[in-house]
A and B are shown apart, each in its own frame.
Chain A
Amino acid sequence: MIAVTGIGLISALGGSVVETWKAMRENRTGLGDLSLFDSPQWRHVPVAQVREPLRITNDRFNRCQRLALCAAGQAMGDADAQVTAEAAADRFAVAVGTCTGGMLESEQTLVDFGEDFPAHIDRRTYQQHPCSAVTDALAKQWGLHGRRATVSDACASGGSAIAMACDWLNLGLADRVLAGGVDVITRLTLHGFGSLMILDEKGCRPFDADRRGMSLGEGAAFFVLEREADARKRGATIHAHVAGWSCRCDAHHVSRPSGVGIRQAMRSAMEMARLSPAQVDYINAHGSGTIDNDRVEAEAIHEVFGDHSVPVSSTKHYFGHTLGAAGAIEAVVSVLAIREQCLPPNLGMTTPDTRLPVHLVTAWQNTSVRAAMSNSLGFGGANASLVFTRAQAP
């Protein structure tokens, strides 16, 4: 069993897990105006931008790295997971899911210099552009010399990175893993999803009958993960267990989900967790707010869970769609749902789409949550499903 011993989060709702959870309980949305860069064409579209000052004293990092360092720092502190004799540096691994890396800063050079931009890319921007610069920054910050992976599986990246980390621990390839996801709002993603005509001018409304699309967001979330026996041995607080995980591909279309992959991922993750559908108390859905995604995911949930009326909510109206960070942020929400024994609602949904065969959470619900599932769906038919369970008393 894999234990979650550290949690860190930065989002448009706040700079920490506590602030973010408090804002969620107050049903506040992170959606608002974009101020990161000027975008006349998409000025009217709300985004969930992190407005918190990034408390990183070293200004050599780009925004993506800074967000990751903020969240990862919280997770490392929460787990009291400094490199120690018990968790030697070469057994402490890092797995990061991200799509944008240093794109925001590279774009600025293109804006400033037009077609001649390559000649003006400075060394720091060049070196920090790759997604892997985030992973390397985290490893360097805490002197972690174990295995590293930078996973770029579109919007499933965060879920994929956590799943990969769990495999490392299960196979004994690492003793602790700092695992999560991060992404920033960029011109590429804003214009890109805009060109696909799937940005909702009113802000995303997952599973709403009148939903029109998604809202972009940014943020980062990280876990410190370790084997349960190791965590117990050192007396660490266990927030929850990662009991099952699975990644599957639709093998169907580059941008349109088929539902086949997420169905199989949910089934495999539950099988690994040795849970039946009736034993899952909550699903944090990918629920991006697009017409296709929400329909396909709801139908997949219905097919897997049958008549078990498992409560489902998407938290995208709180955080926006944070792309590579989404799977990790929503994994944190799933762990908090278990820890706090309550379920967040589908904020932004005013008229539930009754054609969708799932039980949608409409208001905060205090209930027994023994197991929660977090789904991520991405371009390319990438799917990840994670199952978290309540930690037992030692």
Chain B
Amino acid sequence: MTLAPDHIAILGYGHICPNRQAQLLTDDNGGPTYLSVDLSRIESLIDPDLAPRLTRAQQITMIAASRAIARYGHELDGDRTGVFVGTGLGNLTDTLAFLKRAVGPHSRLASPLAFVHSVHNAIASQIAISFGLAGCNHTCTHGRHSFAQAMACAGIALLARHIDHAVVIAVDAIDEDYLRMPCRDRVRTPGEGGAAFVVARGDDESDTSEHWRMNPIPVADPLATDAGPLIDQACLLMRHDADDSQSCRLPAGSRVGEFGKSCGEFCTVDAVAVAMGLAAADDLLEPDAIDIRRPVSDIQHVLVYRDAKLSPSSVWWLQR
């Protein structure tokens, strides 16, 4: 069984998320706990002059994109490369910081830069500027479907030949006001993180021989079809937690990894899980980064489950 003919090729990937040693933090008011990315060494990870001027979401994005582009290892043609960002919360912290000033008694002190950063596409534009990527540049924001929408938009722009490569990014950063909202989902521990992928058309692989293939939209669970599993080779199944794969029948030699403990829960956590899964399958993940039995080098498929029990079409399927 192979992927659909309109699949795309993943030529590079990178991610950043809270690691397994991350302690549960609380906000300044002793409020809810959450898992946080360690950005204390940000200056060593991206341009130290740029880092302090970026929002938290932009910092996370820059780290993930830098890693993905470095892993790709070739120069991207800026005119033919697009940027596609999926984000649920965008730069919410900066938006709220601006608004608190603007509607308060000191409204004249509201920072213009904070307003510029409040725009959803400030993340995508920073990537375009930093890496000189002048193709189409879109920001998709659709809650938990944000990464799926960004990846689909990239796949369509590639198929339409508007571009030859795309940098697809998914990011969400913790916001302490958001954590205090009583109506948010409280079932899982909140987290944050980002992932980036350099992708190209599946039929245009002249610049690389090693890559992963994927459908640009999540698929129905290939392990839980009525007709039996579509995959008969060993796979790496990445699940948020044990609840996410109750019905699947894993082929012999398969491995299971749980990303919920490392990442927590946020709108675009599925993107981070995809990048972690690929890194694990390529044996590039630090051994303690995720709860997974080794070795994983014989893995041909990576499946990422997120709420698969709730939605049968919420599985990312990647094939070596």
Contact = CB atoms under 8 A, between A and B. Distances in A.
A247 B137 contact: yes
Nearest to B156: A167
Highest count of chain A CB atoms <10 Å: which of B96, B135, B136 = B136
A126 B88 CA distance: 13
Interface stretch (B11-19, B106-114, B255-263): B106-114
Contact of B103 (A107, A121, A130, A247): A107
Nearest to A198: B112
Interface string A242-271: 000011111111110000110010001000
A131 B120 CA distance: 10
Interface in B209-231: none
A140 interface: no
Contacts of A268: 162
A168 B156 contact: yes
A251 B128 contact: yes
B139 to A, nearest CB: 5
A248 B135 contact: yes
B162 A246 contact: yes
A188 interface: yes
Contact of B102 (A130, A191, A250): A191
Given A173-B156, A187-B103, A261-B134, A192 B115 contact: yes
A187 B99 contact: yes
- In the complex, which range does the number of interface residues on chain B fall in? 35 or more
B318 interface: no
Contacts of B121: 152-154, 378-380, 382
A116 B108 CA distance: 22
A54 interface: no
Contact of A254 (B95, B96, B120, B126): B126
A149 B142 contact: yes
B1 interface: no
Nearest to B92: A129
Given A152-B120, A380-B128, A195 B110 contact: yes
A343 to B, nearest CB: 29
Interface in B230-256: none
B1 to A, nearest CB: 23
B269 interface: no
A148 B150 CA distance: 11
B159 interface: yes
A153 B87 CA distance: 12
A196 B83 contact: no
A150 interface: yes
Interface in A281-330: none
Given A119-B180, A381-B129, A381-B137, A249 B83 contact: yes
A26 interface: no
Nearest to A121: B181
Interface string B137-163: 111111101000100110011011010
B147 to A, nearest CB: 13
B45 interface: no
A249 B107 contact: no
A99 interface: yes
A247 B138 contact: yes
B154 to A, nearest CB: 11
B129 A254 contact: yes
B182 A188 contact: no
Nearest to A108: B103
A111 interface: yes
A99 B88 CA distance: 13
B141 A248 contact: no
Nearest to A324: B120
B183 A252 contact: no
Interface string B79-93: 100110000101000
Highest count of chain A CB atoms <10 Å: which of B98, B102, B108, B153 = B102
A66 B165 CA distance: 38
29 contacts: A110-B99, A111-B103, A114-B104, A126-B181, A126-B183, A127-B183, A130-B141, A148-B149, A149-B140, A149-B149, A149-B153, A150-B141, A151-B140, A152-B120, A153-B137, A160-B138, A188-B99, A191-B107, A191-B115, A192-B98, A192-B102, A246-B136, A247-B138, A249-B128, A249-B135, A251-B129, A379-B116, A380-B125, A381-B125
Interface of B: 78-79, 82-83, 88, 90, 95-96, 98-100, 102-104, 107-108, 110-112, 115-122, 124-126, 128-129, 132-143, 145, 149, 152-153, 156-157, 159-160, 162, 177-184
Given A147-B152, A171-B159, 4 more contacts: A122-B183, A149-B140, A248-B134, A248-B137
